[in-house]
Each structure stands twice: as C-alpha cells, then as structure tokens.
Amino acid sequence: YRFTPQVKAVAAARLDRSTIHESQVSPKLALVYSPTANHTFRVTYNRAFQAPNYSELFLSVLHPLRALAYFGNNLLKVEKIGGLEFGYKGILNSSAFITFDAYYNELSDFITDLTPGANPAYRGQELINGQLRTVWSYGNAGKVTETGMEVGANYYFSDAWSLNVNYAYFDFSIIEQSQGDPIQPNSPRHKMNGTLTYRSGGRFEGSVGVKAVPSFDWAAGIYQGRILAYTLVN
C-alpha cells in the first residue's frame, strides 16, 4: 500500500496447518521510505518457525549392545523466531552502491539434541520388552536474543575496475538453556570479504577475493570445539 510517492507498506502472511504441530501464522510487515530515487530506508518485522524433523518426532531405536533406547518426541513444539530489521541502500555519486542492515531477533523453543532427561515422558529408566533401558530423546528448551549488522559497498573506479567489500557483526545472549546441551550460534562474531574485479568489455573478466573469518566456538550435541581462524583467497 502506497501512502505517498515516498512511503509505502508491504504486508504478507503465511498459514501452516499440520497434523504434527500446532497451526502457525507467519506474518511479515515492512515500511519503506524512499526520499529520492537513489536512497531507500526500510523497517521490517518478521516471524517464522521451523518444524521438528522426522527423526526428532518418530525415532525408535533399541541399542543392540547397551541398555539404551532412542525415541522421538511427538509432543515437540516448533522452534520460533521473531525479528526486527532496519535497512538502507543508496547510490552515491553514481559510483558507489551502499547497503546497511541491522537486526534484532528473539529465538525460543530450540529442539535439544538426543539426550537423557530431555523428554518429560521418559524421566529415567523404562521397562521395554522386558529389559530396563535408559531412554534418550528430544525436548524443547532455550531462549536466545541475537543482534547484528551488515554493511556492504560496491565502488566502480571505471567501467573496467570495481571493488566490493562487506563486513558482518553478530552477537547473541542466552536467556535460557537446558543442562548438558549448550547453545552455540556456530557463527563467528565478525566476517569480512573483499573482491577486486576487472572486466574488459565482454571478452575477459578477472577477480581477486579475500574472505577473513576469526575463530569461534562450535557445538552440536556431543560434538563441540573451537573452529580456528582462517582466510580464503580466491
């Protein structure tokens, strides 16, 4: 809906109805302000979800050698995220294209990794086919907030030479998490990229790109560790 030639709103919604989770409505709303043809500002709100996968819902395995059982959880909630974004894009002096985005997200009801005690239906050992077994299953736990920003620039020195650079910053805060199942974003706090490109008409194109990523912590269930810093040159 266009309020004025410079201000418009965009709205959308998605409805998901399923037999394995509660119905979900995912709305999206954006307000866009374009004071001139070369400059645009936007504010956006989004809400979305991720449904449990089939293993998390229906896993059913008895360990062949140990007194363990691995079961899914039919009562899992969906993982939820709500986000607020601010963005800008603009053209400066007909030579530079600039983008800037900042965001704040709230995430909740993470599905845990397979672990004992996560599913309230199996608090301890269960008698299964005449054998006492410890049940490993899934549950919902955790609440996290995320903040970040991304800035990028394309600069055209001439028709042949151009430079693209971008930088991303990411931070998060853990509000709640389950014991024994640490939450990690599996993403570095900073990321930087730069590419210098040369084009000769339609006959030749060459580029040199550099990507730099600092070290960061990574975790997925029992697999945890530190990813070392690395730099890629293409």
Residue 28 has pLDDT above 90, yes or no: yes
Instruction: Give the pLDDT score at 118.
Output: 87
- Count CA atoms within 13 Å of residue 141 on its CB side: 19
Query: To the nearest whole number, what is the mean pLDDT of the chain?
Result: 94
Residue 21, pLDDT above cutoff 80: yes
Label residue 107 exposed, middle or buried (CB < 10 Å: 0-12, 13-18, 19+). Answer: buried
pLDDT for position 87? 98
Say what the pLDDT of residue 163 is: 97
- CA dist 74 and 20 (Å) reads 7
Work out the burial of residue 139: count CB atoms within 10 Å of its CB; fewer than 13 is exposed, 13-18 middle, 19 or more buried.
Answer: buried
Helix (H, G, I), strand (E, B) or coil at 55: helix
Q: Please give the structure tokens belonging to residue 215.
A: 């070290």
User: What number is the average pLDDT over the span 200-224?
Assistant: 90
Q: Which residues contact 109 (CB under 8 A, 6 or more apart)?
A: 77, 78, 79, 80, 140, 141, 142
180 band by pLDDT with thresholds 50, 70 and 90: low
pLDDT in tens, 3-19: 999 999 999 999 999 99
What are the backbone angles phi and psi of residue 55, rounded to the nearest 5°? -65, -45
Q: What integer is the mean pLDDT of 68-93? A: 96
